Structure 1
Amino acid sequence: MKFWTGTAFMKTTEMPAVATMLDQAGFHGVLVSDHLIYPKEMKTVYPGHESGKMFWHPETDWPDAWVLIGAMAAVTENLHFGNNVYIAPSRPILEVVKQVGTAAAISHGRVSIGLSAGWMREEFELLGQDFDNRGPRLNEMILALRELWKGGWVSFKGDYYDIPEMTIEPHPPSPVPILCGGESPAALKRAARYCDGWVGTAYTIDDAEKWIERINGYRREFGRENQPFDIIVGLRDQPSTELYKRAEKIGITGVMCSPWANWEATHSGDHDHLLGTAERYREPIERFAEDIIAKLV
């Protein structure tokens, strides 16, 4: 079992120091969230809350994922980095190729990318990317990224992307794992058909098992049920070695856990308990490492 933590709602300037604590404690990695802006006037309905509105404050930090990953990679030795999730189709594809390739080179291959089609039209429009074709375009982007990260002379031609032969350096020292987030049928099928894994949100262990059954059904549909496949989710049950043993048994390969966080408070919009200095994270990190990670890894 691999243990990950997230960065959402934490203080940006504290994250490199927290990353060093996680690295020293034996956590596997950090997943970085992504948003570009908080529009003062937003027409898009937020699908993640019953109110249809974002549950975080306008002044909440959403640091650039790859700048933050580069900063954390520079002060760690073993920690891995990914996303939950990165809205790749809202960016020009060559920008994604360059940023991830650079992060992979700096970290000596300690990065993956967790993609999603996104939901906020305003971000796409501000970045000059088509919102309405984002799903099929992301499917093609996944194929293109694998080609464009190979190093040397690379190119790609598809329905949405036409990249003439060029070099894009630095390129990753090894293939970058591509995971997909989202719970819609289209997102689950995308993960099952094109990706190396799926990143979920937070569930009870019983609900997580149902999501895994669904995605494994799609993997069988696409003839990929025997290929390696990561499933990373958060679990809302009380942490215990027994819980994570069961999680591994049902096919979860990575667990998102934030031993310093109050899940209910965080998702009700109360993020004050996440905004302390880095030192306030040390004790819960070390306690979780001693009580859980040391007994399972």
Structure 2
Amino acid sequence: MKFGAVLPTCEIGTDPITLRDWAQAAESLGYSHIVSYDHVLGASHSGREPAFWGPYTERDDFHEPFVLFGYLAGVTSTIEFETGIIILPQRQAALVAKQAAEVDLLSGGRFRLGVGSGWNYVEYESLGADWERRGALLDDQITVIRALWEHDVIDYTSEFHRIDRAGIRPRPARRIPIWFGGYTSAALRRAARWGDGFTFGDSGPDTVALAETLREMLAAQGRDPTDFALEAEANYGIGPDRWTGLVAEARNAGFTHFSVNCQSTTCEWGGNPAANLQSTAEHIEALETFITSVT
């Protein structure tokens, strides 16, 4: 099993040296990958109809994942980078294909593109994206992105895209993995059809059950479920006894990856104890404590 560290984006601050130190610490401790969440815009929750259910607001910092990983690629050498997840339908497919290819090239093939549809409808509206058609658009975007990666020039027409004999350069030197994330049946079906892996933002019996449903969907698509990567996640605030139990459960269920999230905002929103880490040194110490406990 490979272990990942979720960037505490809301808490780590904006100092590039701090970001470098945290990433290098994760690499030196033996983590296989860094996960970065994505929000272009934060929005106030008050007075919304329908009400917001997500944990983040206009007060939370979010580093832009592609730019962040381009920077971290230059200050690390082995650790991989995962968007967990890029909210794909609110971004232009061709631009995402270009950005992902660039990160993969600059990092020497250490990138995987995790995608999903998100929850923040205000963010969609602000970016000029169609909230109601996000699922259908996401499906089409995967086709466009992979075609742009694989061919010098494409001629593509669909309900959502028109690319008239054009392409991106540089193209990636390999087939970049595309992972999906989410909790819905639609997300699982999409992954079974298009994906190379799936990132669950949680762990435990419910997550294991969802993974089993996904395996059934993969088999129905004629795909080998044992070749499909699965990632679970635990909040740091729940403590070592629960970490080790959840990791063992995930490993027994065939999960290939497991990440720790040390960010208090996410912990509290999920009904878990807050990590309450106040400094970069404390965040790095938490990474060491977790990896020592589970390996």
**TM-score bucket of the superposed structures, by smaller chain:** 0.7 to 0.9
Are 1:4 and 1:255, in contact at CA under 8 Å, matched by a contact in 2?
Answer: yes
Structure 1 residues 18-167: aligned runs within 5 Å? 18-40=22-44, 43=48, 45=50, 52-150=52-150, 152-167=152-167
1:169 matches 2:169: yes
Greater CA drift, 219-228 or 250-259: 219-228
Amino acid at match of 2:117: A
**Does the aligned pair in 1 maintain the 2:94–2:144 contact within 8 Å?**
no
Alignment of 1:146-225 (within 5 A): 146-150=146-150, 152-204=152-204, 206-225=205-224
Task: Indicate conservation of the 8 Å contact 1:179/1:198, yes or no.
Answer: yes
Contact 2:10 2:263 in 1 (8 A): no
**TM-score of the pair, normalised by structure 2:** 0.86
> Alpha carbons of 1:56 and 1:137: their partners in 2 closer, same or farther (altered >3 Å)?
closer
CA spacing shift, 1:39–1:291, aligned 2, 3 Å: closer
- Show CA shifts across 1:89-128 (max 9, x none): 1011122112111111111111111111122222222222
**Residues 90 and 148 of structure 1: CA distance in aligned 2, closer, same or farther (over 3 Å):** same
Q: 1:17 aligned to 2:21?
A: yes
Unaligned runs of 5+ residues in structure 2 are 236-240
Measure how far apart 1:272 and its partner are. 8.3
Q: Residues 190-225 of structure 1, C-alpha deviation per residue, up to 9 Å, x if partnerless? A: 011111111111132x22221111111211222223
Aligned-partner Cα distance in 2 for 1:141–1:265: 33
Change (3 A) 1:141 1:275: farther
Aligned to 2:291: 289
Aligned partners of 2:6 and 2:262 also within 8 Å: no
- Per the normalisation by structure 1, the TM-score is 0.85
What's the secondary structure of 2:31's corresponding residue? coil
Q: Which whole-Å CA distance do the structure 1 matches of 2:43 and 2:250 have between them?
A: 38
Q: Give me the whole-angstrom Cα distance separating, in 2, the residues matched to 1:262 and 1:131.
A: 25
CA distance in 1, matches of 2:221, 2:263: 39
Determine the structure 2 residue equivalent to 1:280. Answer: 282
- Percent of paired sites with the same residue: 25
| Unaligned runs of at least 5 residues, structure 1 | 47-51
Contact 2:262 2:275 in 1 (8 A): no
Offset at residue 87 of structure 1 (A) = 0.4
1:95 match: secondary structure: helix
Describe the SS at the equivalent of 1:109.
coil
The answer to which of 166-175 and 131-140 deviates more is 166-175
CA distance in 2, matches of 1:246, 1:266: 23
Letter in 1 for 2:61: D
Q: 2:77 & 2:59 partners in 1: Cα distance?
A: 32
Which position in structure 2 is the counterpart of 1:49? none
CA distance in 1, matches of 2:218, 2:126: 35
When the two structures are aligned, how many residues end up with a matched partner?
Answer: 285
Deviation at 1:263, TM superposition (A): 6.9
Question: Which whole-Å CA distance do the structure 2 matches of 1:42 and 1:90 have between them?
Answer: 23
Q: Which amino acid aligns with 2:86?
A: Y
Contact 2:234–2:261 (Cα < 8 Å) also in 1: no
The DSSP-based 3-state class of the residue aligned with 1:216 is helix
How far, CA to CA, are the matches of 1:262 and 1:180 in structure 2?
Answer: 23
Change (3 A) 1:243 1:34: closer
Which AA in structure 2 matches 1:11? I
AA in 1 matched with 2:222: G
Superimposed CA distance per residue, residues 230-274 of structure 1 (whole angstroms, 9 cap, x where no aligned partner): 11111466223x653442231211101146869744646997834
Letter of the 2:232 counterpart: V
Q: 2:252 aligns with which of 239, 249, 254?
A: 249
Deviation at 1:53, TM superposition (A): 4.1
| Partners of 1:212 and 1:251 within 8 A in 2 | no
Deviation at 1:15, TM superposition (A): 2.5
Q: Tell me, what secondary structure is at the counterpart of 2:193?
A: helix
Paired residue for 2:231? 232
CA distance in 1, matches of 2:194, 2:229: 13
Q: Given that residues 233 and 261 in structure 2 are in contact (C-alpha distance below 8 angstroms), is that contact kept between their aligned partners in structure 1?
A: no
Indicate the SS of the match to 2:258: strand
